[in-house]
Chain A
Amino acid sequence: DGGITQSPKYLFRKEGQNVTLSCEQNLNHDAMYWYRQDPGQGLRLIYYSQIVNDFQKGDIAEGYSVSREKKESFPLTVTSAQKNPTAFYLCASSSAVSSGGYTFGSGTRLTVV
């Protein structure tokens, strides 16, 4: 079945450490996105990529980094510079030629301990 896989589902990080969240899709979608969701809040866009080897900052990119070396993969690194990293992180993808919406992964819950 086609879809988006995020791993791990739960992640604990000590303050001062960088962590990388994985996002893989087998939908052959060109565009991929990372969103952050805080309790009771909507989603805020961190980074997005419309094509391999290219990505753009979203609304809250500070303290995060991404790469897009393969069409299928769009990992997100939460760096020690991110002041409040505890949140639910969602990865999504979309097709440039489709009139449908985004397909989301099941999310990674990151907790700083």
Chain B
Amino acid sequence: SQQGEEDPQALSIQEGENATMNCSYKTSINNLQWYRQNSGRGLVHLILIRSNEREKHSGRLRVTLDTSKKSSSLLITASRAADTASYFCATDRTGGGADGLTFGKGTHLIIQP
């Protein structure tokens, strides 16, 4: 079953603009993670936020988590052409993720030069 659902499904913006993607999930979590996937490649881990954290930064990435609304957002600031990719949120099934993560269907982000 797919726990996380990203919104929007696709997003096209101009280079230099900020991109915001949202993720909603259904059950309690220990942590939530965001991954990037370039076309035809494996996923790359971007950032992990724990259930007791509300916001986390990593370079141009900012992730928020609202456990009361069961939602998270990923903000990419000052977008670049190289940010064009699909972005997935993932939640742990149980026990922190050792028994697998559940992924959403992803947001396809296109950065127009």
B residues 41-56 in Cβ contact with A at 8 Å: 41-45, 48
Contacting residues, chain A, for B98 (C-beta < 8 A): 31, 50, 94, 96
A-B contact pairs, 16 of them (CB 8 A): A33-B100, A40-B105, A42-B105, A42-B106, A43-B43, A43-B103, A44-B2, A45-B101, A45-B102, A92-B42, A96-B98, A101-B90, A103-B45, A104-B43, A106-B42, A107-B41
The number of A-B residue pairs with CB atoms under 8 Å apart is 64
Interface size on B, residues (CB 8 A): 25
Chain B residue numbers with a CB within 8 Å of A105 are 42
Given contacts A50-B99, A56-B99, A58-B100, contact A100 B45 (CB under 8 A): yes
Bound CA–CA A44/B1 (angstroms): 8
The answer to whether A42 and B42 touch across the interface, beta carbons within 8 angstroms, is no
Which chain A residues have a beta carbon within 8 Å of chain B's beta carbons?
Answer: 4, 6, 31, 33, 35, 40-45, 48, 50, 56, 58-59, 88, 90, 92, 94, 96, 99-107, 109
Residues of B within 8 A of A50 (CB): 98-99
Q: Mark B1-15, 1 if CB is under 8 A from A, else 0.
A: 110100000000000
Given the complex, which residues of A lie within 8 Å of B1, measured CB to CB? 59
Given contacts A45-B100, A56-B99, 15 further A-B contacts (CB under 8 A): A4-B42, A33-B100, A40-B105, A42-B4, A42-B105, A44-B2, A48-B99, A48-B100, A58-B100, A94-B98, A102-B97, A104-B44, A105-B42, A107-B42, A109-B40
Cβ distance A39 to chain B, nearest Cβ, rounded Å: 11
Residues of A within 8 A of B43 (CB): 43, 90, 92, 102, 104
**Using Cβ atoms and an 8 Å threshold, which residues of chain A touch B4?**
42
Shortest beta-carbon distance, A89 to chain B, in Å? Answer: 10
The 9 closest A-B pairs by CB, nearest first: A101-B45, A104-B42, A42-B103, A43-B103, A42-B105, A45-B100, A104-B43, A106-B42, A101-B33
